[in-house]
Structure 1
């Protein structure tokens, strides 16, 4: 059963919320703003730190939209080939531009990207170009800041057509979510204390994130088939609930619980698009969210290279001044990044996607 795309304009708004959260957690790394967090109350600090959950929201929304678009295109000739072409040209142009930028940033003296330039060939570069750095604990956070989420996303693309073909009803999606949680729990338990754990790999790699993607797929099934929830077997639901409890007890983080909140929000908005979560401003931000994700890291390097906010540090003397300085940093980082992202969206992302469409059309004409 298909979901009508036109009814889901709030999706861009959710992406907008996601990127606003991501930027929130990164403001603390702007030189001059960093001391402000020491004045935060535990609640304020936790709220800021939870900005990383924006990536989880991205993953839930991504899986949902992939289900929606692939459902519509599944009967295309060479549907899977076309899927990979579209996904590559959706991500690669802007990501490769980011690789070029952070290479340049290193050579002018700012190693924000944690690049190890001692080895030849440059493993980090090759792994990032192939979108496989997420399989290596020592490289998952290297080269492009935040690039770990892009390689995880690309890995999900690689297995998505298979999942789409095999999962046919709501109970199979519930079981898939159950299986991903079990695999994640076992893998993280076995890898604890290893170099993978030490390098903060377990909280990021595809095995940990796959249950989050599964929630987006499950949400699509529940929304596309309004009677689907009545078809879920009680036994499947009970085992899933028990597995979630075990996962949360043994997991390295509680991020999956927050992902369930995003899953529920997605379903709620499918019934009624509340303006708080679905409006033109958030949608405009969400439309350029991929560029914004990469550009805001780039702008942080610019701010730090030129010391744009170092003067702020001496102004931070109490919780009020700390909050005001942090808000100033947030507004400036977002505003500048948003302007540039609209430019890169039009000059890089859209032409890249158009190039993918032209390639598909050309390949179709060759048959």
Structure 2
């Protein structure tokens, strides 16, 4: 088996860049009254979050595999320090925006519930488990809550997948088994919760619904590590990408009212399509975009702040640019504008916030790790 450290993974940052562009597009298209095709393309951007989930699981495996002696406590500490500073800044930013909207009318009211309880639940990253705070503080914050719960269970999942790595077929079967378990949980919730229809958005966002998507990312990593993915031909990768994209798109627009287990099947099928995006970018498409890769590097900051530009700024521009009658042109203008501003704002946040906190977190992790080592030495002496 080849040393995975020496391999080039520029495709990961490009996928992150594509994912944040998809997320920006869905929030931009919601500000205009466009054609069905335009809105369909834009709304499919909501699946950008699932691309982030696939990438996240893949990179966590990559990191864990290259640091076999890392303790679980160090893993949790690093994940918290990676997410918390930018997310907490997001809480403050959107709280400030909400105050402006409520008392000064600078923008339309956000409609979010910035109660003390909801803020505290988000600070503790438990919003993935609490309906009122799930997506009610930082726009898109539901995915951060879901991701943090995934971090909690990841070491166990990583151990399970490692146990089955010798049997290659299991790397394909395990996500399907997890999908089946997710469907059973979904069915149980439908049966138990009489208020399911009102809480359906929360159940869609929930970790039990998204864990099959993360499992795709874990399997993708092992298939990559074992040089199985490189055997997939270009034509096969393209066909499978198109198939799963059309499948998830069709299910998305059939809707939850007509499709049983819609909430589970749509994210899973889109996750499969993104697995083949990775295959295409990693092995077959020679095109490399520095801008897209850089956007991928800044993608976490971009995810937190993009709502300000894709929603608030775009809704303002729609009124000011009312001379643009063509909805397609309007969408292009809004998407380009919000994407560019998001890029530079995220770049600033990355360079002046993320990188500085990353350096601080490295020192904290080192101190914590040294204390653990000292503790172990003392125990041996005792």
Name the TM tier (shorter chain).
0.7 to 0.9
In structure 2, the residue matched to 1:310 is 319
For residues 115-136 of structure 1, the C-alpha deviation after alignment (integer angstroms, 9 at most, x for no partner) is 154xxxx221111011111112
Matches within 5 A, 1:1-367: 3-4=4-5, 6-29=7-30, 34-37=31-34, 40=35, 42-76=36-70, 79-109=71-101, 111-112=109-110, 114-117=112-115, 122-168=116-162, 169=165, 170-192=168-190, 194-199=194-199, 200-226=201-227, 250-253=260-263, 254-275=266-287, 278-300=288-310, 303=313, 307-312=316-321, 314-317=322-325, 321-366=326-371, 367=374
Structure 2 unpaired stretches of 5+: 103-108, 232-246, 252-258, 375-382
Structure 1 contact 105–301 (Cα < 8 Å) conserved:
no
For residues 91-119 of structure 1, the C-alpha deviation after alignment (integer angstroms, 9 at most, x for no partner) is 111000000111111111254261154xx
Question: Distance between the aligned counterparts of 1:334 and 1:227, measured in 2?
Answer: 35
Greater RCO (CA < 8 Å, at least 6 residues apart):
1
Structure 1 contact 106–112 (Cα < 8 Å) conserved:
yes
Distance 1:131-1:267 versus aligned 2 partners, 3 A rule: same
Distance 1:96-1:8 versus aligned 2 partners, 3 A rule: same
The structural deviation recorded for 1:173 is 3.8
Question: Distance between the aligned counterparts of 1:113 and 1:357, measured in 2?
Answer: 38
Q: Secondary structure at the match of 1:7?
A: coil
Structure 1 contact 137–195 (Cα < 8 Å) conserved:
no
| Structural RMSD (CA) | 2.5
The structural deviation recorded for 1:269 is 3.4
Structure 1 unpaired stretches of 5+: 231-243
**How many residues end up aligned between the 2 structures?**
332
The structural deviation recorded for 1:341 is 0.6
